[in-house]
Amino acid sequence: MTVPPRTPPERGAPGADATLADSADSTEGHSEFSSIKARTQAQLVFRRFVRHRAAMAALLVFVGIITLAVTSIGAGPIPGWWDKGYLSTGTLVDGGQPTLDVLPAFVDGDGMAVGEHPFGQDSIGRDYFATTMRGAQQSLQVALLVGLVSTVIGTVVGSVAGYFGGLAETSLMRLVDVIIAIPLLVLAAVVGRGTGGSATVLGLFLGIIVWTSLARLIRGEVLSIKEREFVEAARAMGASPARIIVRHILPNTISTIIVSATLTIAAAILLETALSFLGFGIQRPDTSLGLLISEYQTAFATRPWLFWFPGLFIIGIALSVNFVGDGLRDAFDPRQNKVRE
């Protein structure tokens, strides 16, 4: 028996308008879903991050601060374009007042200018721009080392504790509890006193004591991931625990690791500032942003530029890194799994 083909109802026939409306809705829905393109997780994260305006602006500020600090007075083999050193002394010019003028000519009549000493001079005639740039270099070095070392230690400890469990987990987590029980500033002061004022040594030792939060986070993630099917499959195929952790588990915790590392850098800037302010951080003849604030806190009323310039750099670094961390956290959010054109 042959079934005749079904023809669509003519316009105006009973039910025709409803059928055409349903067809139009279906076409619109199909068009809506077709506008969503399949992308990898890395592409989704990148697109969400670059669309986070605050994070992108903060990233530009952070990169700008690093570039200015490194290129101005140089670092190691990198020569600087600023002609004054942070240890060189000279004659006080106009009482050490800053020569930087950022106001246009129609406001104050002088016009914008950098001058010979844009950030002014300290009490013995050292160029304060060079001194502040050196302080920014040292503070950034400490913060980046703390972020790197604490991330590596926290990831390793959390992975081992979460995957193996038993005695390994109990021992490592009790160590974490002991470190957390000691006030961080007190422990950091003891560490800072024994480093001899070296930024590299201070950064390494501080990184050894601030990894506990990341270790707890990674342990919790590993406890959840190790029970999934792909981990069981890798274990059944004879993969070693190290390979399972590195190749299958840690890639699924990368969002937690990256965000935690970013926020640790911001916290390390403030920790180094506090230590140097208390006299337990970087020592003379070198300098840091916290040490500059400590040395010139009494000059706030008479020569406020000696206090404000390093303080502004500390605020700029801490805020920019925090905003970048917030942007990364939002970009890695698994609930945002679609990006429309």
Amino acid at 292: L
- 288 by Cβ neighbours in 10 Å (0-12 / 13-18 / 19+) ranks as buried
* Residue 13, pLDDT above cutoff 80: no
Most confident by average pLDDT, 180-194, 229-243, 287-301: 229-243
* pLDDT at residue number 135: 92
* Residue 298, pLDDT above cutoff 90: no
Confidence of residue 222 (pLDDT cuts 50, 70, 90): very high
Cβ neighbours for 194, distance < 8 A, ≥ 6 positions apart: 205
* pLDDT at residue number 93: 81
- Cα separation of the two ends of the chain: 50
Instruction: Output 37 or 202, whichever has higher pLDDT.
Output: 202
* pLDDT mean over 231-259: 90
Instruction: Output 163 or 278, whichever has higher pLDDT.
Output: 163
* Residue 301, pLDDT above cutoff 80: no
* Residue 104, pLDDT above cutoff 80: no
Q: Which fold has domain 47-88+128-331?
A: MetI-like fold (1.10.3720)
Confidence of residue 27 (pLDDT cuts 50, 70, 90): low
Q: What are the C-alpha distances in Å from 35 to residues 30, 163, 232, 336?
A: 9, 41, 37, 16
* pLDDT mean over 187-196: 76
Instruction: Output 30 or 142, whichever has higher pLDDT.
Output: 142
Q: Please state the φ and ψ torsions of residue 25, each to the nearest 5 degrees.
A: -60, -40
* pLDDT at residue number 243: 92
* Residue 190, pLDDT above cutoff 70: yes
* pLDDT at residue number 220: 92
Q: Which two tokens stand for residue 159?
A: 């992975």
Q: Which of 63-67, 107-111, 207-211, 253-257 has the lowest mean pLDDT?
A: 107-111
Every domain of the chain and the residues it spans: 47-88+128-331, 97-125
* pLDDT at residue number 193: 75
Q: Which of 18-27, 32-41, 198-207 has the lowest mean pLDDT?
A: 18-27
* pLDDT mean over 90-102: 81
Q: Please state the φ and ψ torsions of residue 287, each to the nearest 5 degrees.
A: -150, 165
Instruction: Output 38 or 48, whichever has higher pLDDT.
Output: 48
Whole-structure pTM value: 0.80
| Spatial separation of the C-alpha atoms in residues 235 and 226, rounded to whole Å | 10
* pLDDT at residue number 20: 46
